[in-house]
Amino acid sequence: VGDAGKGAVLFYLLTYAVANLGAFGVVASIERLERPIGEVKDFAGLATDRPLLAALMTTFLLSLGGIPPFGGFVAKWYVFTAAIQAGYTWLAVVGVLTSVVAVYFYLRIVVMMYMTPADSLPVPTSGSPPARAALVASAAIALYLGILPAEVLGWASASIRSLF
């Protein structure tokens, strides 16, 4: 795997770090509102109760699933392309298949948030403004990495070249 492939992996790690931090940040924000999240069903009705948190969680889950226009799509595209170019087509096929399985689980959460009513009434509190700002910034980065990835990919490739 050449520098482009190594840069793609670094970009993938950055993209998934942003999406995972954002998703866990949403869960932490929900739990701070005294609405514990332990199972998928606990996301029921979140879009009605907390539309911003539901939209942010959707952004992070779609990025994790590799759905365009989010960074996760670009990251997977470059990693799978690098694997194929290096002769690891079988690895790219396994990656695509596991991505499809992951999307199923991510979409279950999205469906629960938007299409399943909540079991209880929403807690009448507002979230922390700094936490909200951090989550919105993470979502913006996840979208940016999907729409304009070239500069960050360039940085990732340059970083790899400087190491090896």
Burial of 129: CB neighbours in 10 Å, binned 0-12, 13-18, 19+? exposed
Angle, in degrees to the nearest 10, between helices 3-32 and 51-65: 150
Q: Is the pLDDT confidence value at 125 over 70? A: no
pLDDT, mean of residues 111-138? 81
- Is a pLDDT exceeding 80 seen at residue 126? no
Q: Average pLDDT of 76-97?
A: 96
Q: Is 66 helix (H, G, I), strand (E, B) or coil?
A: coil
Provide the angle, in degrees to the nearest 10, between the axes of the packed helices 3-32 and 150-163. 120
Please state the rounded mean pLDDT for residues 136-150: 93
- List pLDDT tens digits, range 1-49: 677 788 999 999 999 999 999 999 999 998 887 778 889 999 999 999 8
Residue 121 has pLDDT above 60, yes or no: no
**pLDDT score, position 122:** 58
Cα-to-chain-centroid distance, residue 67: 9
Helix (H) or strand (E) holding 30: helix 3-32
To the nearest whole percent, how much of the chain has pLDDT over 70?
Answer: 95
H-assigned helices in 44-149:
46-49, 51-65, 71-85, 89-115, 129-147
